[in-house]
Chain A
Amino acid sequence: MSAWRQAGLNYINYSSIAARLLRQALKADLRTEAAKRNDSHIRITKWEAGKPIKSSEF
């Protein structure tokens, strides 16, 4: 098993880290446009028994 999976990460986490780094390693003129794809606005709330339990950021 990969070290990162043992540490509680999944491939989605791995992929986000890798993609973010690739965007930062681009030539300066492409970097700003690519950095927009780092952004995420979505907010996720856990629900239990018909009510939101806490507004945690994932």
Chain B
Amino acid sequence: MLGRFGPVVTFVAHNGPIQQHQRGMATLKSISIRLKSVKNIQKITQSMKMVSAAKYARAERDLKQVKPIGNGAKQFYEKAEIDAPTDVPQKLVIAITSDRGLCGAVHTSVVRHIRTELGKDDVNVKVVCVGDKSRAILSRTFGKNIILACNEVGRLPPTFTDASKLADAVLKSEYKFGAGEIVYNKFKSVVSYQTSTLPVYSLQSVAAAPKLSIYDSLDDEVIQSYLEFSLASLLFYSLKEGACSEQSSRMTAMDNASKNATEMIDKLTLAFNRTRQAVITRELIEIISGASAL
């Protein structure tokens, strides 16, 4: 029995280590290359996390200051019970995103909301894209619905002047809409945000609101000026909410990426050490068997 299998075993014993030896060396090198690249990626994600953590802290502080503006601007719309006019079907949708990615699904969830809206009616709905991300996704399928696109959003915290410029551009775009909405991400906590909408109304729809009569001494110019300023305030508020959600989401995304990288580094280090040990063992076996053969 042994005699029959003897040569086979020796053949394997002689041949095996050489093949494995070569493969072992190759994996050792490739593992160390991968390990290095994962470590570099982790450095990047970690520093991105640090940067967005600092930006998030500022955005959250800013947001606290702006919350009363957003709530205040909404009050009248809610309390006067304004409805979209039935005779003007034109709608305006303002998408609040930014130019930058790597922040989870903040931008896609805004776009998804708008896409369902456009899926229902793509003739009477026009879109204002704030931020390159929403523009890039929407221009592929609904390019003809875009009337304004904005970029250079998200690098620096938004200012009221930004919101004014945007509101001014919307008003001067000569697009007559009955009602509209601002789609943005409302910040809830570091780990969650909610895609929400804020209403935008035209002068006609406000003038037609049944509860408007309880408001004293209003003329059209006051309402018009009021609505213009409200649009700017609401945009300012939604830009701040969006910026805060984006930074917190990027922070979480980068934190997860860093954690995943740590996991990978651990696994790769283990594999690297195992392989190295195997190589050493094999070399020892070779030396010993070589010595015993003498």
Contact = CB atoms under 8 A, between A and B. Distances in A.
Does A touch B (CB under 8 Å) in the complex? yes
Contacts of B168: 10, 12-13, 58
Interface of A is mostly: mixed
Nearest to B161: A40
A44 B228 contact: no
Interface in A33-55: 36-52
A38 B225 CA distance: 21
Nearest to B144: A50
Interface in B147-163: 147-153, 155-156, 158-162
Q: Chain A interface: which size bin? A: 20 to 34
A10 B159 contact: no
Interface of B is mostly: helix
A16 interface: yes
Contact of A58 (B130, B159, B169): B169
B221 A58 contact: no
Contacts of A46: 147-148, 173
A15 B144 CA distance: 33
Contacts of A52: 149
A45 to B, nearest CB: 5
Interface string B151-194: 11101101111101111110111000000000000000000000
Contacts of B151: 42-43, 45
Contacts of B158: 42
A58 B149 CA distance: 12
Interface of A: 1-2, 5, 10-16, 19, 36-52, 58
Interface of B: 130, 139, 143-144, 146-153, 155-156, 158-162, 164-169, 171-173, 221, 224-226, 228-229, 231-232
